[in-house]
Amino acid sequence: MPEDSSSLRLAGSYDELVSPLRFFHWITLFLAAGMGISLILVFSFPKTASVSSSEAMMDMGTTVKDDYAVIAGKALGPELSEADFVILGSSSVRESLWEDAKLGEECRSLGKTACHTIQLVASAQSLTEALFLLDDAPLHSGQQVLLFVSPMTFAYDVKETLFRMQEGFFLREPYPFAKKYRAKIPELKIISRFPQPEITFLRITRTVVYRHFFLGLKDWFSIHFYGQQPRMYERYQYSHVKLGRRVKTALLMRKIRKRFRKGFPAHREYHERVLRVLIERIREKGATPVLMETARLQEASGIDPEEWEKYRSLLKKSTAEYGIAYVDLNSKVRFKPDDFVDGRHTTASGRNKWSPALADWLSKQ
């Protein structure tokens, strides 16, 4: 069973196709939703497996919102202060790395004794959210903070970040944070205060019931229409998908290209300012920031060569201005198309190439 906290614990094997609800519960949900005509789908659902306990639900994310809550808790916990390397990034980083225990074990096998990592990664994580996570985190001298970046890091719309912060994804009041940095980052226009959100049994129950219903439907379509067998409640979401579908890949590259061309010119200056503040804050705490390039399949990245040069020039400017290291391990890893889902998110084979490369780099620090 994966040790990472982003996976629900099931009684069944991860290699089995499972559903966390019994047929009776599915039927009840379908009837309550006015979908009685679709009841026939229930009998095609995977076999039943049970969630081990409500306690198991407390330390993992079942939605993107809960994923952020999990890493927010890890950022303020003792595990972070014990780590040698703190890793931040988006879902691309999450999918490309082994769990902390396995990554550290590989690093120590290469001769480095102090190689404890902690991954604070979540879907579409922005530099602003990285700053929010680390602002009160117990960083200290001797730690390295690996900030994984990609062209899309500098194309995110700040509105997406503000939405997640105001909606309580981090289980923290964002107003004091916004007020603290507003002089340097005026875009942090969070003016409304809200009651401190808590992880309650009611919230978890509501979230889990929704996810069971949603995942059950999604998995039925995945199996019967796409012929894929999903692995539910696991850290890695893309292990069963391959890049080989040309139409899907072309459409996805077009979407990425469009978003980058629109977002990079519009939001680049904002993200540069946030990066400057983030680096200053990390150094104030005594830790060492490092910019790390995210794993990628260049030909399927969706970023044209001239646009890629604009991104690289930004990184060269930033590293020279801030005096920090920039590390790109992609040149040391021989990726193939089957190692990726979409040019950014790795499959299991891609992960098994990228993680050893990172462990090797960590062992030399």
Task: Considering only residues 151 and 299, tell me which one the structure prediction assigns the higher pLDDT.
Answer: 151
Q: Per-residue pLDDT averaged across 219-237, rounded?
A: 50
Higher pLDDT, 197 or 329: 329
CA 311 to each of CA 86, 261, 303, 305: distance values in angstroms, whole numbers, following the listed order: 24, 11, 10, 10
For the CA atoms of 209, 211, 214, 219, what is the dihedral angle to 10 degrees?
-120
DSSP H helices in 237-334: 246-284, 305-322
Q: What gap in Å lies between CA 145 and CA 281, rounded to an integer?
A: 11
Q: According to the model, what pLDDT value does residue 185 have?
A: 94
Mean pLDDT over all residues of the chain?
Answer: 75
Residues in the chain, total: 365
Tell me which residue of 354, 364, 362 sits closest to 98, measured CA to CA: 354
Both tokens assigned to 322 = 């801030």
Distance of alpha carbon 12 from alpha carbon 364, whole angstroms: 39
172 or 147, greater pLDDT: 147
**Segment 263-273, tens digit of pLDDT:** 889 999 999 99
Q: What is the pLDDT of residue 282?
A: 97
| 173-187 residue pLDDT tens | 788 899 999 999 999
Percentage of the chain modeled with pLDDT above 70: 64
Instruction: Count helices and strands (H / E) in the chain.
Output: 13, 7
Read off the pLDDT of each residue in 43-53 and give the average, rounded to a whole number. Answer: 40
Structure tokens at 34: 């006015």
- Burial of 239 (C-beta count, 10 Å sphere; 0-12/13-18/19+): middle
Torsion angle defined by CA atoms of residues 188, 193, 195 and 199, in that order, rounded to the nearest 10 degrees: -10
For range 168-174, the mean pLDDT: 79
Query: Given this model, what pLDDT does residue 67 score?
Result: 73
pLDDT at 80: 93
Cα distance between residue 260 and residue 156, in whole Å = 9
Q: Class of 63-190+241-363 per CATH?
A: alpha beta
Q: Which DSSP string do the residues of 138-205 spell out, in sequence order?
A: ---TT-EEEEEE-GGGGT--HHHHHHHHHTTTTSS--HHHHHHHTTT-TT-------PPP---HHHHH
Which pLDDT value is given to residue 250? 65
Where are the chain's structural domains?
Answer: 63-190+241-363
